[in-house]
Chains A and B, each alone.
Chain A
Amino acid sequence: MKKLLKIENWLDERFDLTPIRNLIEHKKVPVHGHSIWYYMGGISLFLFIIQVFTGLLLLMYYIPGENAAYESVQFIITKVSFGWLIRNLHSWSANLMVLFIFLHMFSVFFTKAFRKPRELTWVTGFFLLLLAMGFGFSGYLLPWNELAFFATKVGTDIVAVVPFIGEELKIILRGGEDVTGATLSRFFGIHVAILPAIFTSLLVIHLFFVQRQGMSEPEEFEQLSEKEKKYIPFFPNFVLQDALLWIIVLIGLLSLTLFFPWELGLKADALASAPLGIKPEWYFMFMFETLKLLPAHILFVEGEVVGIFAFAFAGIIWMFIPFIKFSKRKDLNSKIIRWFGLISLIYMIIFTIKGYL
């Protein structure tokens, strides 16, 4: 203990640790009926940390390239000590991370935590979700297996329907006309360098905003008298509760890893016919299903183009929701926002389930 104090003093002397000390000593977390949702962001962060560590370990053995990617992943899961564990942890935590980011986002949405002054926290969080989905899309192709190959083909084909620049976008994304080794190298670069750099920077900003502004209080909680408001200290109470949940998530993650290992499948073969059951990752499923259901033409525009623009439009509204006033009446505005969120959520759930039926 004395040694730790010594180190603290040494650092304090040089860097003035007062802001950190203040944060630890004074930060409070409101206690109310929706407090459970405060932990979703923390769990997402924990899963991201697992992603970084397992990703770094995988990077030591993974070799990008048409003739080496599949074989290297096969080598990782069959020959490298605990390679199977690391690869499965990486795959499962990636999916869970996206799931918890979604939960975090919808909890923030329905508790209206995006209200002033947290608009930018919401916007950065939304970008973090898009980047996480980008991680998923680019990482899906890296094992270079049959399903991923054809799913990427379908996914990148969708980009091509964007008017005027679609075809060029597709070529840029694929690194050529088709999904080839060039696409794999490109996706590898995006997955291990470009996205982590952007994601980490944005995450730091997001966390800075959260720490700077503190935990949001729901409207009902705000209306309570100071006497009725209950708080717990951020440190150690909230941190310990966070840690407890992280352990529970880790138990779940380890169980999934052991009992439901992620299949590698067959190696991608560009000359083979597409296998049955090609589907994107579950978090793209609602969009994929919608595009599948749209007619070839809506009025004079291609159905897929309409679909893509509709999703882009909905996404923009979602991102700017803290800035949009649907009505001058505050209560009506809240109602519209709640219904918009509810309909979006139900729509996503139904179409995701439909994709697996």
Chain B
Amino acid sequence: MNKKNLFNICSFIFLFTALSISGVTISDSEKSSKFEDECINCHIENEIMPEHFSKNDIHWQKGLSCAGCHGGDANEINEEKAMSKRNGFVGIPDKKEIPNFCGKCHSDIGKMQLFQARIPTDQVSQYYVSKHGKQLKIGNLDVATCTDCHTTHEILPASDTRSTTYAINIPNTCNNCHGNRDLMNKYNMESNQVAEYSKSVHGIALLEKQDIGAPSCNDCHGNHGANPPGVESISHICGSCHVNNMNYFNNSSMASEFADMEINACEQCHGNHLILKPNDEMISVEEESTCTECHSEGEEGYIAAELIYDKIKSLSSLYDSTKAISEKVNIMGMNNIEIEYSLKNIKQNLIQSRTLVHTFDTSEVFVKANEGILASQGALLLADNEIAEYFERRLGYGVAIFILILLAATLYWKIRSLGS
């Protein structure tokens, strides 16, 4: 056995021991490529693996090793040569450099297309127009960069439920900074956004019901280009999901009034992070009213609110009565198929009437609500007929049974008389 062979065997035993001790395990499929990467070999050997390093990291999974981002020569055994500037080693980037550090690949469509045909490459340019990016540019290192949201060596695709950018995990990711009171106080900002959001209708849907269709922070504020929405854009943001509400509002007479008064369209009545499930009382002139915040008694807006509330309330209670009576009809064993069909229409009318509130036009709300009221009255009539028939059937049954018993008794008497 020559010296070279002996050295190779010793190296292998040493590397195997080092890997075992460090706890880093490499699967068979990974061995061939990873074993030739001297960065990994050396870092494992010296137990200086980066904090939170995960072999599930997307870059690692795609075969991109340390040198892919940090430069240097991954095939070089000699530490100094491997991490020399001559070999392009850049080491750990400064926070300010991170966006462009990641952008080396992520802004290069030629490189990114190799992994995904329609992958976006505008993250860095979007970032620099965001509040975070603008601040970073002027040297504020408090702001979030790529690694603050995506982590450094544990980066997972946003579709992965373990990822910090997975829809359900995003509020928590943002809250790492925006929930830090000291940090936020420095910029005269609130630090309760996520706490409020988690109590909102959106937060409950996303965090409690795990409905990833519900909006998270980035759905309203953007992700790489994160900015707080302004007066002009807020209805567009909410309207990206609540399309009809946005259209009705934008075409209403109130849109220009709100803009003139520099009031945020949706936010004025519904709030921002703590958006609760809306109720009919919001359009009333009662305590929970949002209309009376601007309109006083006797004003046109005040009267409209009263009228709209009364109409929607009467449709809503008619819907409840129809639903209750439909259940009663069903329990009686009678036919409620058509009542149930009408109920679906009434519910639709109720939803549409509530949406039409955003037109602030009583006649529009009345037309839709009256359709529902009419359908409800029809359904109640059907239910009354079914209940009446229920008793008619029993009456008919009683009469028929009485006649049959009478007939049976007569027959019995006849049979007995024949027998005697």
Q: Which residue of B lies closest to A257 (CB)?
A: B397
Decide if B414 is an interface residue (CB 8 Å cutoff): yes
* Contacting residues, chain A, for B367 (C-beta < 8 A): none
Q: Which of A175-183, A206-214, A236-244 forms contacts with chain B?
A: A236-244
Count chain A CB atoms within 10 A of each CB in B405, B407, B411, B414 and give the residue with the most. Answer: B411
Assuming A247-B408, A254-B397, is B414 touching A74 (CB within 8 A)? no
**What are 13 A-B pairs at a CB distance below 8 A?**
A74-B337, A78-B335, A236-B418, A237-B418, A240-B414, A240-B415, A247-B407, A250-B404, A251-B405, A254-B401, A255-B397, A255-B401, A258-B394
Q: Interface digits, B376-408 against A, CB 8 Å rule (1 contact, 0 not)?
A: 000000000000000001100100110011011
Decide if A77 is an interface residue (CB 8 Å cutoff): yes
* Contacting residues, chain B, for A243 (C-beta < 8 A): 411
CA distance A241 to B407 in the complex (A): 12
Q: Interface digits, A231-271 against B, CB 8 Å rule (1 contact, 0 not)?
A: 01000110011011001101100110010010000000000
Establish whether residues A237 and B407, one from each chain, have CB atoms under 8 Å apart when the complex forms.
no
Establish whether residues A258 and B411, one from each chain, have CB atoms under 8 Å apart when the complex forms.
no
Assuming A77-B335, A261-B333, is B418 touching A240 (CB within 8 A)? yes
Establish whether residues A247 and B411, one from each chain, have CB atoms under 8 Å apart when the complex forms.
yes
Chain B interface helix/strand/loop/mixed? helix
Q: Interface digits, B294-324 against A, CB 8 Å rule (1 contact, 0 not)?
A: 0000000000000000000000000000000
Decide if B419 is an interface residue (CB 8 Å cutoff): yes
Contact of B415 among A74, A77, A78, A241 (CB under 8 A): A241
List 4 A-B pairs, minimum CB-CB distance, nearest first.
Answer: A244-B411, A78-B335, A247-B408, A258-B397
Nearest CB on A from B158, distance (A): 32
Assuming A77-B335, A240-B418, is B408 touching A248 (CB within 8 A)? yes
Q: Which of B331-373 contact A (CB under 8 A)?
A: 333, 335, 337-338
Assuming A244-B412, A254-B400, is B337 touching A78 (CB within 8 A)? yes
* Contacting residues, chain B, for A240 (C-beta < 8 A): 411, 414-415, 418
* Contacting residues, chain B, for A236 (C-beta < 8 A): 418
CA distance A251 to B335 in the complex (A): 24
CA distance A261 to B332 in the complex (A): 11
Q: Interface digits, A341-357 against B, CB 8 Å rule (1 contact, 0 not)?
A: 00000000000000000
* Contacting residues, chain B, for A241 (C-beta < 8 A): 415
* Contacting residues, chain A, for B338 (C-beta < 8 A): 78
Q: A255-B397, A261-B333 provided; 16 other pairs, C-beta below 8 A?
A: A78-B335, A232-B419, A237-B419, A240-B411, A240-B414, A240-B415, A240-B418, A241-B415, A247-B408, A250-B404, A251-B405, A254-B401, A254-B404, A258-B393, A258-B394, A258-B397
Establish whether residues A247 and B337, one from each chain, have CB atoms under 8 Å apart when the complex forms.
no
* Contacting residues, chain A, for B418 (C-beta < 8 A): 236-237, 240
Count chain B CB atoms within 10 A of each CB in A74, A77, A254 and give the residue with the most. Answer: A254
CA distance A76 to B337 in the complex (A): 13
Q: Which residue of B lies closest to A247 (CB)?
A: B408
Assuming A74-B337, A237-B418, A258-B397, is B404 touching A251 (CB within 8 A)? yes
* Contacting residues, chain B, for A255 (C-beta < 8 A): 397, 401
* Contacting residues, chain B, for A247 (C-beta < 8 A): 404, 407-408, 411
* Contacting residues, chain A, for B401 (C-beta < 8 A): 251, 254-255
* Contacting residues, chain B, for A244 (C-beta < 8 A): 408, 411-412, 415
Nearest CB on A from B171, distance (A): 36
Establish whether residues B404 and A237, one from each chain, have CB atoms under 8 Å apart when the complex forms.
no
CA distance A128 to B411 in the complex (A): 30
Nearest CB on A from B337, distance (A): 6
Nearest CB on A from B405, distance (A): 7
CA distance A237 to B415 in the complex (A): 6
* Contacting residues, chain B, for A258 (C-beta < 8 A): 393-394, 397
Q: Which residue of B lies closest to A237 (CB)?
A: B418
* Contacting residues, chain B, for A77 (C-beta < 8 A): 335
* Contacting residues, chain A, for B400 (C-beta < 8 A): 254
CA distance A31 to B135 in the complex (A): 110
Nearest CB on A from B227, distance (A): 47
Q: Which of A214-239 contact B (CB under 8 A)?
A: 232, 236-237
